[in-house]
Amino acid sequence: MISIKGVTKRFPGVLANDHISLEVREGEIHAIVGENGAGKSTLMKILYGLYQPDEGSIELRGHPVRIDGPARAVALGIGMVHQHFMLIPRFTVLENIILGHETARFGVIDRRASEQRVKELAGQYGFAIDPKAMVATLSVGQQQRVEILKVLYRGADLLILDEPTAVLAPQEVTELFANLRLLAAGGKTIIFIGHKLDEVMEIADRVTVLRRGQVVGTMAAGETSREGLAEMMVGRPVLFRIQKNPCHPGAPLLSLDDVTVAGVGGTARGHGRGHGVGGSQGPAWRTRIARAAVDGLSLQVNGGEIYGIAGVEGNGQTELVEGIFNLQPVTSGRVMVLGKDVTNRPTAQIRAGGIAYIPEDRHRRGLVLPMSIWENLILGSHRRREFVRRALLDRDRILGHATKLREQYDIRLADMDAPVLALSGGNQQKVIVARELAQSPQVVIASQPTRGLDVGAAEFVRQRLLEMRDAGRAVLLISADLEEVLSLSDRVGVMFRGKIVAEFPAEEATPQLLGPYMLGGAAPAEMEIPLADARGEGGEARV
Amino acid sequence: MDAEMLASALRMSTPVLLAALAGLWSERSGVVNIGLEGMMIIGSFWGAYGSYAYGPFWGLLFGMVAGLLLAAIHAVATVKYKVDHVVSGVALNILALGLTRFLCIKIFNQATASEHTRAFATLNIPLLDHIGFLKPLVTKVSPVIILALVLVPLSSLVLNRTVFGLRLRSVGENPLAADTLGVNVFLMKYAGVLISGALAGLAGMFLSVEHTGMYVEGMTQGKGYIGLAAMIFGNWNPAGALGASLLFGFAEAISIRAVSSVIPYQFIKMIPYALTLAVLAGVVRRAVTPAADGVAYERGGE
Ligand SMILES: Nc1ncnc2c1ncn2[C@@H]1O[C@H](COP(=O)(O)OP(=O)(O)OP(=O)(O)O)[C@@H](O)[C@H]1O
Ligand SMILES: [Mg+2]
């Protein structure tokens, strides 16, 4: 179907793709795996015409092609779902899908015909979606479906999906895979990039491993194992089972006492600005006050312990974490850190009290993308004595500190002065983790800490969290990855609709036991089950 | 309050409305156009000259083209060379001021005013002009006012219903997404800014040719900025811009008519400007700016 021949791409100081040759067969699901910064996204952007290769050529069905821009890629039947979604939150599903490819008469969009086509297409591949809904109101899984429909609408027969599962809940992954199999059965060719090797083994026909811009090998998924792939990627064996010392819980370092966060304003979600357009969104406004995002939640995390919160995303996890740091106001209840009441104190003051924060959304909360890497590495601790000399930042000292972190966390970068947005997704995440853990906090709040990290880096971050725990610190871990929660935590709480509905010691917790609680099925009887859309804007339940 | 007053308010709001529409076209494509004021100045001068030399129709054409040409500089600076939108706009305002003065001396042999110009023949709205109390409102109406009013639904239609409008808006919201779908981002931004310039030029031409009958230095009196305020107040929608402009026009009509021996004249003249401030302070938090407004677009990067 498509063959890539000796493609090389250089960025200033980085060889992102180094003579990559690769063949993808018609109708197969071809996975590409590799460490953070291995060059996967770069290669895909070349296929989609967003970057031009410095060397090498691409052949499509035996004919050499020059893909000089996305428009050309679309014309050739290549479609891409990007690692970071490319949707316009304030447009409807329909507008997002037809943009650039509209059916029109005399320049006026033929809405009825377009809607008909989108509905047909969605029906054909089993996507349930309302074309008139505004994208800002959709769950992440639904947004991804819009992205895939966009690609199909353009008649693509080669679909590129860059880390499509990173942002999905387990059920959504299952749905996505069902969709992908249907597409492949229908003759579409799919390139799939992923870090979760189990998923890769499940969905792919063949797998190609990249390392530092080069192809290490391509093999059938059946011929390899998770461990084998991981070793090829990283160049050394990777531990999947984590070694855990026995837990010695100390005094409570973080206690949340009947905390309620209304979640009004939707700062938690990516599209806060998109809401309320047109002013006719009465229902959305009403559901906002229907129930608080975090609803009288209490929990305690002791020193020397990892408390894991399991739960389907959108059940108040984001609001809980942002409430602790006063990024959203706590409407009632108390937040105590190291025995001190810090409820609704200024964020800088809360952080100075010895609590670190790894946010789930690295672009909106974790980094200042246009700022340099070294600046991002000291954000929040820039006031510290050691970094300041005569009221100015002491660049030499900071660079020394940054270089140390870079080595310790293996952040792959060419230049400390480069903006952090030039890093690959996984390396951006490492910058945040390095910065937060470097302050030797007493309490760590880690929200999706390994999202987008390759197996090696994820293992590394998990080890750091365990070290924190062994050193007597308290760790609150929130992760959509149930396996991660279960393997790291000493106690597990299940969060559903703003409450901890069940709590288990780690030894007892299994996916089978937690599953029903996560879906609310085993919820206590007094819980009312509101309308499906009553989640409001703070989060979307996917139950 | 009477129809006479309403008519005056309508006349006052027309340049603000045109400026607001101008701003809207540019900002919906993601380019902040603070150079509206300058484009109005240029438009008022060339409109006056065109009308003086060849008649009002040519005045209209000259005014619009002049605004468009100035906007072209803004477009090249911000879209191609990625100059900060505000810096470029402010520079254009200064340029427009100097340039018109220079041209005024060259053409009219005086620095601050042109000769008298010829306005369009006024229209009476058929049928309505027989209703007695409406008379001041519907008789002797400038065709440019009617044009401005027609441009409101027209802009709405083009923005919301056409392929061109959808693409233009997409570029103002998320240019990267638009680009990956094969929308020509730069072309759309150029289109938005050029339309903006032409409309701003028209606003200026209305002031000189239709409203005053000559070009006078400083005659725009910050109406370009008030237009921007009206655009924000109107939430980047043409209909909203119309409502906001009428409000400002009304305030101005009052400030002209209000005579008081107690309050100094200057304070009364401040009413529309003070209103702008008050309204903006109250409204801006509610407003939804196009998401990529004022941001330069470059390919690449995650
Ligand atoms: N626009 C850019 N400018 C400079 N360097 C870049 C740019 N884009 C990518 N790079 C560099 O190229 C290398 C490959 O990046 P790429 O995004 O392809 O990695 P990846 O395999 O997708 O990683 P991840 O799994 O973390 O997403 C990285 O070292 C990255 O820093
Ligand atoms: Mg990537």
A81 with A199, same domain: the answer is yes
B203 in a structural domain: yes
Separation of alpha carbons A429 and B255, rounded Å: 58
B194 in a structural domain: yes
A269 with A305, same domain: the answer is yes
Q: Residue A290 above 70 pLDDT?
A: no
- What does the DSSP 8-state code read for residue B141? B
Q: Residue B158 above 80 pLDDT?
A: yes
> What CATH number is given to the structural domain containing A278?
3.40.50
B218 in a structural domain: yes
Nearest chain B CA: its distance from A264 CA (Å):
14
Asked if B232 contacts B283 with a C-beta cutoff of 8 angstroms, the reply is yes
B124 in a structural domain: no
Separation of alpha carbons A338 and A198, rounded Å: 39
Q: Residue A285 above 50 pLDDT?
A: no
Span A275-298, mean pLDDT? 51
Q: Of the candidates B166, B182, B302, which has its C-beta nearest A95's C-beta?
A: B166
The helix (run of H) or strand (run of E) holding residue A393 is strand A392-393
Strand ranges in B177-220 using DSSP code E only, listed in sequence order: 214-216
Q: Residue B281 above 90 pLDDT?
A: no
A291 with A227, same domain: the answer is no
A55 with A183, same domain: the answer is yes
A107 with A213, same domain: the answer is yes
- Residue A3 C-alpha to ligand 1 middle, in angstroms? 22
pLDDT tens digits, one per residue of A465-474: 999 999 999 9
Percent of chain A residues past pLDDT 70, beyond the cut? 91
Nearest to A70, CA basis, from B180, B193, B195? B180
Number of domains in chain A: 2
- Which of A200, A234, A268 is where one domain is finished? A234
Pocket of ligand 1 (CB under 6 A): A 11, 14, 16, 34, 36-42, 412, 422-427, 454; B 300-301
Q: Of the candidates B166, B181, B301, which has its C-beta nearest A70's C-beta?
A: B181
Asked if B166 contacts B287 with a C-beta cutoff of 8 angstroms, the reply is no
User: Residue B236 is part of which domain span?
Assistant: 3-117+142-301
> Which ligand is nearest the CA of A425, by number?
1
Nearest to B93, CA basis, from B70, B68, B65? B70
A189 in a structural domain: yes
B123 in a structural domain: no
**Residue B300 to residue A70, Cβ atoms within 8 A:** no
A303 with A338, same domain: the answer is yes
- Residue A36 C-alpha to ligand 2 middle, in angstroms? 7
Q: Of the candidates B163, B288, B299, which has its C-beta nearest A50's C-beta?
A: B299
Percent of chain A residues past pLDDT 90, beyond the cut? 48
A155 with A93, same domain: the answer is yes
The pLDDT-based confidence of A311 (bands split at 50, 70, 90) is confident
Q: What are the chain A neighbours of B163 within 8 Å (beta carbons)? A: 102, 104, 107-109
Separation of alpha carbons B35 and A502, rounded Å: 60
Q: What are the chain B neighbours of A424 within 8 Å (beta carbons)? A: 302
Q: Which atom of ligand 1 approaches the CA of A39 most closely?
A: 18
Residue B95, sorted as left (phi over 0), alpha (psi -120 to 50) or beta, turns out to be alpha
Pinpoint the alpha helices (H) of A325-391: 347-352, 373-378
A200 with A297, same domain: the answer is no
Higher-scoring residue by pLDDT: B283, B56: B56
Which of A14, A196, A210, when mutated, tests ligand 1's pocket best, judged by the most ligand atoms within 8 Å of its CB? A14
B100 in a structural domain: yes
> What CATH number is given to the structural domain containing B44?
1.10.3470
Number of domains in chain B: 1
- The owner of tokens 């400038």 is B142
> Which ligand is nearest the CA of B302, by number?
1
User: Residue A269 is part of which domain span?
Assistant: 248-354+490-543
Structure tokens at B232: 């924000």
Q: Residue B256 above 90 pLDDT?
A: no
Q: Of the candidates A41, A108, A277, which has its C-beta nearest B162's C-beta?
A: A108
B73 in a structural domain: yes
A180 with A36, same domain: the answer is yes
With CA atoms as reference, the chain B residue closest to A50 would be B300
pLDDT of amino acid A265: 43
With CA atoms as reference, the chain A residue closest to B299 would be A50
- Which of A182, A210, A234 is where one domain is finished? A234
The bridge status of strand A108-109 relative to strand A78-81 is: unpaired
A74 in a structural domain: yes
Separation of alpha carbons B187 and B169, rounded Å: 12
Nearest chain B CA: its distance from A70 CA (Å):
5
A100 with A223, same domain: the answer is yes
Separation of alpha carbons A39 and A4, rounded Å: 14
A372 in a structural domain: no
Nearest chain B CA: its distance from A71 CA (Å):
4
The pLDDT-based confidence of B285 (bands split at 50, 70, 90) is low
> What CATH number is given to the structural domain containing A14?
3.40.50.300
**Residue B162 to residue A109, Cβ atoms within 8 A:** yes
Strand ranges in A197-312 using DSSP code E only, listed in sequence order: 206-211, 214-220, 252-261, 294-302, 305-310
Residue A39 to residues A34, A190, A314, B159, Cα–Cα distance (Å):
8, 18, 32, 40
A vs B: CB pairs below 8 A: 83
Its pTM stands at 0.78
Higher-scoring residue by pLDDT: A167, A391: A391
* Ligand 1 atom 1: residue of nearest CA: B301
